[in-house]
Each structure stands twice: as structure tokens, then as C-alpha cells.
Amino acid sequence: MDRIRIRGGAQLKGSIRVSGSKNASLPLMVASLLTDQPLTLKNVPRLADIDTMIKLLEQHGTEVSCAPGENGHSRSTTLKLTTRDIASTTAPYDIVRKMRASVLVLGPLVARCGEARVSLPGGCAIGTRPVDLHIAGLQAMGATIELDGGYIVARAPNGLRGAKYVFPKVSVGATENLLMAACLAKGVTTLDNAAREPEITDLAECLAAMGANITGIGTETLRIEGVDRLRPAEHSVIPDRIETGTYAMAVAVTAGDVELINGRIDLLDSAVAKLREAGIEFTQTASGFRVARCNGALHGVDVMTEPYPGFPTDLQAQFMALMTRGEGASMITETIFENRFMHVPELTRMGANINIHGASAMVRGVSKLRGAEVMATDLRASVSLAIAALSATGDTVLHRVYHLDRGYERLEEKLAACGADIERVK
Ligand code: EPZ
């Protein structure tokens, strides 16, 4: 199994090209199940999760062709997805257990075929992550749902009908699932207290290009008037705001100065505000923005994760890694997932001073971290260890690199190009 070795100490300098968003690409790919017409997606990153989604869609009957991207030297892909006929309405356990986003096929399949059988994803490293809201929303739209042998079996033989559904809790995935299903439902669906993440806006804009009738895009109330069929469309995936924020923190921890090409500050307002408070400078450029920590100081800053536009849970671990080297203390509170501090014991092994109190972690900055052999159980926790390693003395060896490969395109190449001493060890 691959490992990544990092020797800390180098200041990152130069430029990094931000890839297309993983969490936008996955639902966008699923949207191809809603139509027999082709959907062309540009700027899709090359990641293990994208390959898993291709595998899932192919077994549902989607023809997928990949062409090299047109995005400068980035290795992004253009995907053409065509689902002339649905070959199977079952999403099997073997694929769903590997990637929870597989559950997004539930709404589109039942909307198009009147039935779907999707494995329940089960628990995961960062929390229990139930799918009750996906189910309740489809029930409100007239689907009957049974649980059978670990599978969600949804049926709507006469099609889904428009409904008003108020999410009792903000959920990115449930909003995406119901938004897609509503595009083919009869009548008007109103989704209230919907998630407003930029990935949802990207999905809604692509669905609109496919002929869906959606208003309220980017707000917490989405109104969708169902149509009989959707048309071919071409869409370019937004840049990955979590990858962008991750590299911004990597630059900050090394007191570096890097241009994040294609990075969009407007998708990261809350994180950028916190990083500015910590002493990091951001400057807009013609092709993205520049992030730098030139004046030395890195201040401890408190953060609480919240649904968008709040501070993203997907940047919490990386921010904590940065704060281990801050001056003073930083209180980091996780409100989205109940078990998203698995990076803490590993950061502690590198010399960080962190105490967990319930949903909060108190980080007291230390003057030095030391390299160690570390591993993590999820994507963002893994990358937080890479950030800590960049500022540690000596070598860090990161195990279980497959977590990183699920969500970061060529991490070691991008960091090495900016001067990091980093290599993948086969
Ligand atoms: C998406 O997961 C992202 N994944 C996650 O990114 C991200 O952390 C999360 O949104 C929050 O921003 C993708 O986009 C593929 P949720 P999702 O439904 O949709 C609870 C990464 O590292 N909930 O918004 O699964 C749930 O348990 C990943 O790239 C219910 O209770 O997240 C959680 O506490 C990790 N019932 C909260 O809501 C439900 O039916 C938010 O989850 C659904 C969710």
C-alpha cells in the first residue's frame, strides 16, 4: 500500500492549480440518470471517488466516456455520460459501502423508473450519518419506502408528485437527492431549509441547463416545477473550495506565498475571514488568488463549523493542524458530525497540544511539531496530518494514503512543485 513521506520545514512558494470539485462532480454525474440524453461535464477531477461513481453509474446502464480536460496542465477530465436506458435500479452494497454519495442515485432512479433499490450506507468513520431525510422527502413526494435486507426499496409506480418538504435539519446530500427527483415529479416541489452549499448551486445550474425549472437557486428555498423530460447539456464543474482551503492552510503553516490558480475566494468567505484573523493575507489575482503569511505571526483563532455559508466541516481538521502552530489558544467546535476529531490523537503524537471537551477541541499552539508515522481514517483527517507534517521537524510517513486519493488530485505533485519535500513511497 502506498505511503507519503514528508520532511517538514520548506516554505511553499509558487502556484497550485485547483482541481474541479469532487463534491460537486459526484451529484452532477448522478444527474445523468434523469435523462436518456447526453450530459457532458468538464473539469471533473481524477479521483478514486469519481472512478467509484463511474462504476456505479455503468452498472445502472450509463455509458461513460472520458476525454482529457482542456484545463491547461491540469489533468482534469471531460466526462460524457449517457443513460439511454436504466439497466438496473439496484445500487449494490459493494459499491455503496465504499462511497456514501452512492445514495444520491435513489431520488433520480425512482423519479425516472418508479422504483429503486439502494443499499443503506451504514455508519462511517466521522459519524452515524443516517439517510432518514432522503427517505422522508421522497415519502412526501408520494414514494412508498420499505427496508429490506439492508436495502432501501422505494416505489412510485405512477411517478413522484410535487410536494412541500421542510428539512428538519440542513443536509447537503438530501437536498441534492430531492432536488434531482423533483425535476421529473408531476407538479411543483418546494424544498425549505435546503442546504445552500456551492455544490448544490452548481447542481441546480446544471439541471436548469438540462431544462429543469428551478427557482430560488442559492437560497434555502428551492422551488422546482417538474418537467416530462430533460435535454442534453454541457456543464463545467466549479473549482474545489475544500481543496482550495486545504492548500491555503498548507501555505499558511509554512509561512509561504502561493497563487491558487482557479481558486475562488467567494466560495470560501467564512474560512478566509478566519484565516485573515489568524494573520494570513489573501489577494485576488487575474487567475485566482494569492495566499501568503509574510509577517510571521500566526494567531490562535476560534472556529465553529456550520452549514454553508458558515465555516465548512470539511476544513475543520486542516484548520486544527494549522492552529497547532498558532500563538495562543484556539477553540474548534464541530457541529455537523459527532465524531470528526480522529485526527486529534495523531496530531498529538506529533507533539500538538489538544484537549477535547465534547464537541470542542482546545488547541494550544506549540513551537515545534515532530515528524512521526501517522495514519487517519478519513480524507480530511489525512490531509490535516500532511499539513502538520509540512511544519514538523524530521520525517512524517503518512499511511492509508487511499483516503487522500479519494479527494485530492496529485497532492504530492502539487505540493512538491511549490518546494515541499514530499514523495509517494510505493
Ligand atoms: C456532504 O455529505 C459532503 N459529501 C461531506 O463531505 C460534507 O462533510 C457534508 O456534506 C457536510 O458539508 C459530499 O458532498 C459527497 P449532510 P452529506 O447530509 O451530504 C445528518 C468530504 O470529506 N443527516 O449534509 O452526507 C448527518 O449525519 C465529505 O468530502 C441526517 O441526520 O452530509 C450530518 O450530521 C465528508 N439525516 C448532517 O446531517 C440525513 O438523512 C449533515 O450531513 C442526512 C444527514
Question: Is the Cβ–Cβ distance between 296 and 52 less than 8 Å?
Answer: no
Q: Is the pLDDT assigned to residue 72 strictly greater than 50? A: no
Q: Please count the other Cβ atoms lying within 10 Å of the Cβ belonging to residue 122.
A: 12
Task: Name the DSSP class of 326.
Answer: S
Cα separation of the two ends of the chain: 7
Please write the tens of the pLDDT for every residue from 96-154: 999 999 999 999 999 999 999 999 987 677 777 899 999 999 999 999 999 999 999 99
- pTM, full prediction: 0.97
- What does the pLDDT read at residue 73? 39
Evaluate: CB of 133 within 6 angstroms of ligand 1: yes
- What does the pLDDT read at residue 69? 65
Evaluate: CB of 194 within 6 angstroms of ligand 1: no
Query: Which atom of ligand 1 is the closest one to the Cα of 136?
Result: 40
For residue 89, the SS3 value is coil
Query: Which atom of ligand 1 is the closest one to the Cα of 172?
Result: 24
Evaluate: CB of 106 within 6 angstroms of ligand 1: no
Please write the tens of the pLDDT for every residue from 363-388: 999 999 999 999 988 999 999 999 99
Q: How far is CA 68 from the centre of its chain?
A: 22
Evaluate: CB of 152 within 6 angstroms of ligand 1: no
Distance 24 CA to ligand 1 centre (A): 13
Question: Quick one: what percent of the chain has pLDDT higher than 90?
Answer: 92
Distance 171 CA to ligand 1 centre (A): 6
C-alpha cell at 292: 501568503
Task: Give 359's strand partners.
Answer: none
Query: Which atom of ligand 1 is the closest one to the Cα of 338?
Result: 34
Q: Is the pLDDT assigned to residue 264 strictly greater than 90? A: yes
Please write the tens of the pLDDT for every residue from 279-302: 999 999 999 999 999 777 899 999
- What does the pLDDT read at residue 47? 94
The span from the CA of 401 to the CA of 379, in Å, is 9
For residue 108, the SS3 value is helix
Q: Whose CA is nearest to atom 41 of ligand 1?
A: 171
Which secondary-structure segment (H or E) carries 277? helix 269-277
Q: Which of 171, 268, 306 to mutate to test the pocket of ligand 1 (most atoms within 8 A of CB)?
A: 171
Distance 307 CA to ligand 1 centre (A): 10
Q: Which of 19, 103, 129, 193 to mutate to test the pocket of ligand 1 (most atoms within 8 A of CB)?
A: 129
Evaluate: CB of 325 within 6 angstroms of ligand 1: no
The span from the CA of 363 to the CA of 324, in Å, is 6
Evaluate: CB of 14 within 6 angstroms of ligand 1: no
C-alpha cell at 349: 503524537
- Cα R_g (the chain), whole angstroms: 21
Spatial strand order of the sheet with 221-225 comes to: 164-166, 188-192, 221-225, 213-215
Task: Name the DSSP class of 111.
Answer: H
The span from the CA of 6 to the CA of 394, in Å, is 8
Instruction: Catalogue the active-site residues.
Output: 124
Q: Whose CA is nearest to atom 35 of ligand 1?
A: 314
- What does the pLDDT read at residue 55? 97
